[in-house]
Structure 1
Amino acid sequence: MSVVEIEYFSNNQLLILTLLMFIGGDIFISIVGLQCSIAKLRLINKEENKNDDKSNTLYPPCLRFSVWFAGKFIKKAEAKYLLESPSHEICYFHWLSARHSTLLMFSAFGFLFVQFVMFCCMEWNARGLSELNDYERFIGVLFEIVNTRYSGETILDLWSLAPAIWVLFIFMMYIPPYTCYVGANCNEVLKTKRRHKIVEDLMFSPLSYLVIFVILICITERKKIQEDPLNFNALSIVIEVVSAYGNVGYSKAYNCDAQLKRDADCVSRWIGFSGKWSDEGKLILIVTMLFGTLKKYHLNEGRSWKLM
């Protein structure tokens, strides 16, 4: 697909491609090969299956649904055994329990919802969408955000998007396909018996907080990013945020020679780059420093999220 110009596809074609990415083409193969699945699954080594990583985030729920469908309407006896057996007995990495598959499905749609809301708020009038009507924009945005965790096809020039969207897309590409929120009460995946407090269950990992801080600062500094892109870029902000979180004090500083519109009163000094930020950005950076000072108390958080 990399040699195909996706932007020339019709709305119906984009919808079909989006649905295919959701359900995965290999789901149909699982129905055909169901009759010999028991013998094969017992012989497969679990560790080897972990390396067989699926890019489709909804592969396990769709696989389980296809098995249920085969048992319900095709009357396959093997389907009943698969559905009633625990996942560790099947020894197939992609065969998740019913509860885990449900949580994975809700988590996948949750990630899409976050991307959709943020993309619409910041890039609804993006250069590649400005001449489209509302329905066409909706289809285009949906196709764009789905591809962050699938095939990576795009109908927009990513260079024209806001750096906050870049950071969000980077995070979505980074997390494994089967990442899901498992919670505490239904924590059969994590196999833990200790009781969690509600606040602890909602905690993210340190990396997640850094991504959130970077996105917020990219939003507060978006005007300067447009006017002074060589100094204000996503990488410079990431360096500043990580430095603040680690309480290191390392800074990229500010280079007046890199200004596209040279300010005659600007003097290059070895001062903190954050000194050129807005008050809102500085406040977020202060929160980041305080949060990093207390990192000892939240380094082990994020256990309610299962990355696999």
Structure 2
Amino acid sequence: MKVLRDKGLNVSMFSVFTTVSTFANCGFVPTNENVLAFKHNPGLLGLLLPQILLGNTLYPSCLRAAIWFLERVTGRAEFDYMLRNSEEMGYAQLLPGFRCLCLAATVWIFVLVQFVALCCMEWGSPAMEGLSPYEKLVGALFEAVSTRHAGESVFDLSIISPAILVLFVLMMYLPPHTSFLPARNGETAPKIQRDEPRRRLLTCLMFSQLSYLVIFIILICITERENLKNDPLNFNVLNITIETISAYGNVGYSIGYSCKRRLNTVSPCRDATYGFVGRWSNKGKLILIIVMFFGRLKKFNTKGGAAWRLS
């Protein structure tokens, strides 16, 4: 409440806006510092955590749990039919029970890995400076959950260790419904039916999603080559990769830009509240816009690169 009063923000409007944005995993918060302004408010972060999970990675599991609960309470045959015939319902978010269990387990394993890594490597770092142990634990958990794919950062990513940033890149790259799904009772993957010749040719010509991302990063490095040479502490390959993968995963994370890290201090510079991409050239911004659309439509290219053999 004090933070909102100091910033002159209406409490009701902030609550509604942040709730909708968090559940939809948009990453929009009506403050210049994103959630960084609330790092000393673990209560608020704790309220946002379930909304992030329910709105994205755990949505299929929670949806099936809700239908199961309604079936138990009401006893209606419609809910039982939905649970037993989830694939026939035509709703992609309604997954089979075993798949939902694997999805939930995978999500919590990813969160645990990030949480442990953050606590081990950043506990005494400047990113957590001034926080109590409880605030550090809640902040690390919030950051681990938000990486997939809410984009609400409670820490300054520019001072996070590179090893953690690489881990974040992996988490942002993975689709929200990624799960470890072992075969049961000798089950094997269904055989892929042959398509029309034209469709088979198109499939063979398509690259994998990772290949396209590498191409996009190379193109951005070409468009920003002057900045890479003149401002290497802000413009480096890791920062560009983080911005690109964040756009691809529709996460919204940004490493930011700091005038203090500039080697050339002759020209005037003023820190602004927009993200790192705000300092890019127009060509680089256009490429990142394409990456955002490509990331939103990535499910149509899940079989890309299948024609390549690496052995």
TM-score by length of 2: 0.51
* Residue correspondence of structure 1 range 1-308 to structure 2 within 5 A: 1=18, 2-4=29-31, 5-6=34-35, 7-8=37-38, 10-24=41-55, 56-85=56-85, 87-185=86-184, 190-191=189-190, 229=233, 234=238, 296-297=310-311
Report the Cα distance in structure 2 between the residues aligned to 1:166 and 1:84, rounded to whole angstroms: 41
* Residues 1:174 and 1:122: Cα distance change in structure 2 (over 3 Å): same
Distance 1:61 1:188, change over 3 A: farther
CA contact (8 A) 1:144 1:154 kept: yes
What is the deviation of 1:186?
Answer: 6.5
Deviations 1:184-234 (A, max 9, x none): 336869436xxxxxxxxxxxx996xxxxxxxxxxxxxxxxxxxx9589863
Q: Distance in 1 between matches of 2:97 and 2:148?
A: 23
User: Any stretches of 5+ residues in structure 1 without a counterpart?
Assistant: 25-55, 193-204, 208-227, 239-258, 261-294, 298-308
Equivalent residue for 1:219?
Answer: none
In the TM superposition, what whole-angstrom CA distance separates every residue of 1:17-75 from its partner, at most 9, and x where no partner exists? 00121223xxxxxxxxxxxxxxxxxxxxxxxxxxxxxxx01111100000011111133
Does the residue aligned with 2:99 lie in a helix, a strand or coil? helix
Provide the C-alpha distance between the structure 2 equivalents of 1:153 and 1:102, rounded to a whole number of angstroms. 26
Contact 1:127 1:160 in 2 (8 A): yes
Classify 1:167/1:186 alpha carbon distance in 2 versus 1 (closer, same or farther; 3 Å): farther
Partners of 2:174 and 2:235 lie apart in 1 by 28
**Partner Cα separation in structure 2 for residue 176 and residue 153 of structure 1:** 17
- Residue 154 to residue 77, structure 1, CA distance change in 2 (3 Å): same
Cα distance change of structure 1 residues 235 and 152 upon mapping to structure 2, 3 Å threshold: closer
- Looking at structure 2, the residues matched to 176 and 150 of structure 1 have their Cα atoms a distance apart, in angstroms, of 9
Query: Aligned equivalents of 2:84 and 2:241: distance in 1?
Result: 50
- When residues 156 and 58 of structure 1 are mapped into structure 2, their CA distance, relative to the original with a 3 A threshold, is same
The alignment of Structure 1 onto Structure 2 pairs a total of residues equal to 185
Per-residue deviation, 1:101: 0.5
Partner of 2:259: none
* 1:263-285 alpha-carbon deviations (Å, 9 max, x no partner): xxxxxxxxxxxxxxxxxxxxxxx
Change (3 A) 1:12 1:164: same
**Alpha-carbon distance change, 80 to 171 in structure 1, aligned in 2, over 3 angstroms:** same
CA distance in 2, matches of 1:57, 1:237: 23
Contact preservation (8 Å) 2:127, 2:160 = no
Give the conservation status (yes or no) of the 8 Å contact 2:87–2:96: no
- AA aligned to 1:97 is P
The alpha carbon displacement at 1:14 in A equals 0.7
AA at the equivalent of 2:63 = L
From the superposition, tell whether residues 181 and 14 of structure 1 become closer, same or farther in structure 2 (CA, over 3 Å): same
Question: Hey, what's the Cα distance between the residues in 2 that align with 1:161 and 1:57?
Answer: 24
Mapped to 1, the partners of 2:83 and 2:240 lie a distance apart of 50
Letter in 1 for 2:61: P
Q: 1:104 to 1:188 in 2, by over 3 A?
A: farther
Pair 233,296 (structure 1): closer, same or farther in 2 beyond 3 Å: closer
Percent identity at matched positions? Answer: 35
Distance in structure 2 (CA, Å) of the matches to 1:237 and 1:84:
43
Whole-angstrom CA distance in 1 between matches of 2:241 and 2:57: 30
Q: How far apart, CA to CA, are the structure 2 residues paired with 1:96 and 1:84? A: 10
Distance, in Å, in 1 between the alignment partners of 2:136 and 2:185 is 38
Gapped regions of structure 2 (runs ≥ 5): 1-17, 19-28, 192-207, 211-231, 243-261, 264-308
SS at match of 2:103: helix
Q: Is the 8 A contact 1:15 1:139 kept in 2?
A: yes
Secondary structure (helix, strand or coil) at the match of 1:60 reads helix
